[in-house]
Amino acid sequence: MPLMRVTLTPRAFDDEQKARLATALTEAACRAESIPDDPRSRMGALVLFTELAPGSFYSAGQRVEDAVAGVFIDWQVSAGVLDAARKARFARELQDAARATRADDDSRMVVTSCVIHEVPEGQWAQNGGIRRLPEMASSAGFEHLTAIG
């Protein structure tokens, strides 16, 4: 189940754009994890936004928030769910989603980054218990992992 902690540069997206970005990221992550388009299966697909305060985004020692719209993600996913092709597709879809969400008249460069944290088996606690991949595969409906569920 995708759990994405998303850090945005200051004023990169308004509330409507954040909502569209959350939808696009959810769709991309669910495609990568092969979670079916079913509300019960996608209930655990979480996007948590944090927006940096003005004056807190620098590149090469220079304040660049007026030149860059940044989307930086830490994505927790159970080990064994994503292969290299799924990760690469998500990276492309992340960049496309961030670009498509920006206003047409916004000239800032769109920069994205995602660190994928693959959580080892038995290391994900949720709702008072340890979630194991076979249980998650069954509840999330991972289409490519049905044999282990």
Domains annotated for the chain, with CATH where assigned, are: 3-121 (3.30.429.10)
- Model confidence, pTM: 0.84
| CA pair distance 45, 27, nearest whole angstrom | 9
Instruction: Dump pLDDT digits (tens) for 25-77.
Output: 999 999 999 888 888 878 889 999 999 999 999 999 999 999 999 999 999 99
Dihedral sign of CA atoms 118, 122, 123, 125 in order = positive
Which structure tokens are listed for 77?
Answer: 């996913």
Instruction: Dump pLDDT digits (tens) for 84-109.
Output: 999 999 999 999 999 999 988 999 99
Burial of 83 (0-12, 13-18, 19+ CB in 10 A): exposed
